[in-house]
């Protein structure tokens, strides 16, 4: 006869990540790609991330100070990770400025294959950072756009207003407004760009904005300008202050490179007081089946060891239920956005995601 209590204990021990062992870290998780772990260990980031010194209920000026410091820290890591990589050959770039109408401008960074002939798909890229930190001009995003362009795409990166950091303080919907304006410019200038079609893509906070701008396009009646959507590790649930059981990766992978505590603070800075918690253009996880019906083809790409993994997969399932042409992929062995970060340490993983975006763009915007 099987001892039920012993069987239960065995299953608990065998659960993945911190569900099985709360002391398990990214560095000790046997699922983690050892090349990624070594790269993170150089910065002391292979263990549990430390809780931020602020919470969603802290004074706003303290939250913004934390965001500025976090932005500088993340950017220092990214700069070090990309230092010494050879330049991407065969790509040209230019900057287009869009007037917001208030004396300020939105910068669009346009990257092209130098020897391009004929129409190519355009990938409109929205950078990550929880809609609160980082910038499209960062070395990691310049590299990302160059690599995508070298694969045979026109890539347009948008420099939108952040909720905090050096491009803040601009809570929702300022960043979404900028992403919308930039995307509408791309759609209106398809012929000038030599576009066969337009795909919207981004990771993390950029994944949120990728999904949100698509939902806004449907709401406003210009959805036919978007041929496809490719969202990586989207940050969409706004459930991080009190992670629900329905999203077990928020427990399983918490404090692996990023943490629920960190994401809850960024969410508060982006959407103070949760004033827009039910608006899917702020938090796409709130989208209903009616919101999703009729959307263009999607890919939802997630990372196995990411706290955000399961909210991305839940969105994928909702798209399917709404009848949207949708595919998903899980990049094994990687932390949050790991397939778009570790160009030097895991070039094969990085290249596989570039190829997947290129293949998707070719399929929906030939």
**Alpha-carbon distance 86 to 108, whole Å?**
24
Could you tell me what percent of the chain has a pLDDT over 90? 94
Q: Please count the other Cβ atoms lying within 10 Å of the Cβ belonging to residue 59.
A: 9
CA dihedral sign of residues 59, 60, 64, 65: negative
pLDDT score recorded for residue 13: 55
pLDDT score recorded for residue 101: 87
| β-sheet bridge partners, residue 327 | 299
Residue position matching structure tokens 């046997």: 30
pLDDT score recorded for residue 331: 98
Q: How many residues does the chain have?
A: 366
Joined tokens for residue 303: 């990372």
Q: Please count the other Cβ atoms lying within 10 Å of the Cβ belonging to residue 299.
A: 23
8 Å CB contact between 142 and 172: no
Regions of the chain where pLDDT drops below 70? 1-13
Joined tokens for residue 45: 């980031």
* 3-state SS, residue 301: strand
CA–chain centroid gap for 183, Å, is 17
8 Å CB contact between 213 and 200: yes
* 3-state SS, residue 19: helix
**Alpha-carbon distance 175 to 312, whole Å?**
21
CA–chain centroid gap for 314, Å, is 16
Q: Which CATH architecture has domain 75-364?
A: 3-Layer(aba) Sandwich (3.40)
Burial class (CB in 10 A: 0-12, 13-18, 19+), 107: middle
Q: Which residues contact 348 (CB under 8 A, 6 or more apart)?
A: none
Which of 122, 168, 129, 172 is CA-nearest to residue 284?
172
pLDDT score recorded for residue 361: 98
Joined tokens for residue 193: 């760009």
pLDDT digits (tens, 9 = 90+) for 43-52: 999 999 999 9
CA–chain centroid gap for 336, Å, is 9
pLDDT digits (tens, 9 = 90+) for 17-27: 999 999 999 99
Secondary structure element (H or E) that encloses residue 219, with its range: helix 205-220
**Alpha-carbon distance 237 to 285, whole Å?**
5
Residue position matching structure tokens 């995508």: 148
**Alpha-carbon distance 352 to 230, whole Å?**
14
Q: Please count the other Cβ atoms lying within 10 Å of the Cβ belonging to residue 14.
A: 9
pLDDT digits (tens, 9 = 90+) for 72-116: 999 999 999 999 999 999 999 999 999 998 989 999 999 999 998
């Amino acid at each position: 006869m099987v001892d039920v209590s012993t069987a239960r204990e065995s299953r608990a021990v065998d659960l993945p990540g911190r569900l099985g062992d709360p002391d398990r870290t990214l560095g000790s998780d046997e699922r983690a790609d050892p090349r990624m772990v070594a790269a993170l260990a150089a910065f002391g980031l292979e263990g549990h991330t430390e809780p931020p010194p602020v919470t969603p209920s802290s004074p706003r000026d303290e939250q913004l100070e934390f965001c500025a410091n976090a932005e500088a820290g993340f950017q220092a890591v990214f700069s070090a990770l990309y230092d010494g990589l050879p330049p991407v050959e065969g790509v040209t770039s230019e900057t287009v400025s869009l007037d917001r109408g208030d004396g300020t401008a939105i910068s669009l960074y346009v990257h092209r294959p130098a020897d391009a002939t004929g129409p190519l798909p355009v990938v409109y890229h929205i950078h990550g950072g929880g809609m609160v930190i980082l910038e499209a001009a960062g070395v990691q995003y310049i590299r990302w756009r160059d690599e995508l362009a070298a694969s045979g795409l026109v890539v347009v990166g948008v420099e939108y207003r952040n909720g905090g950091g050096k491009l803040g303080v601009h809570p929702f919907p300022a960043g979404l407004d900028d992403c919308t304006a930039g995307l509408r410019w791309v759609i209106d200038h398809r012929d000038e760009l030599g576009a066969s079609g337009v795909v919207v893509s981004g990771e993390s906070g950029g994944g949120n904005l990728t999904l949100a701008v698509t939902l806004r396009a449907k709401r406003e009646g210009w959805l036919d300008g978007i041929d496809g959507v490719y969202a990586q590790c989207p940050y969409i649930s706004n459930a991080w202050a009190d992670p629900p059981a329905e999203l077990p990766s928020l427990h399983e992978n918490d404090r692996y490179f990023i943490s629920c505590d960190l994401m809850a603070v960024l969410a508060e800075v982006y959407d103070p007081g949760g004033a827009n918690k039910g608006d899917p253009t702020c938090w796409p996880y709130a989208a209903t089946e009616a919101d999703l019906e009729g959307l263009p083809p999607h890919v939802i790409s997630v990372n196995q060891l990411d706290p955000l993994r399961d909210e991305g997969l839940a969105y994928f399932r909702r798209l399917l239920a709404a009848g949207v042409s949708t595919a998903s992929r899980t990049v094994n062995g990687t932390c949050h956005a790991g397939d778009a970060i570790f160009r030097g340490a895991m070039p094969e993983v990085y290249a596989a995601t570039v190829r997947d975006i290129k293949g998707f763009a070719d399929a929906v915007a030939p």
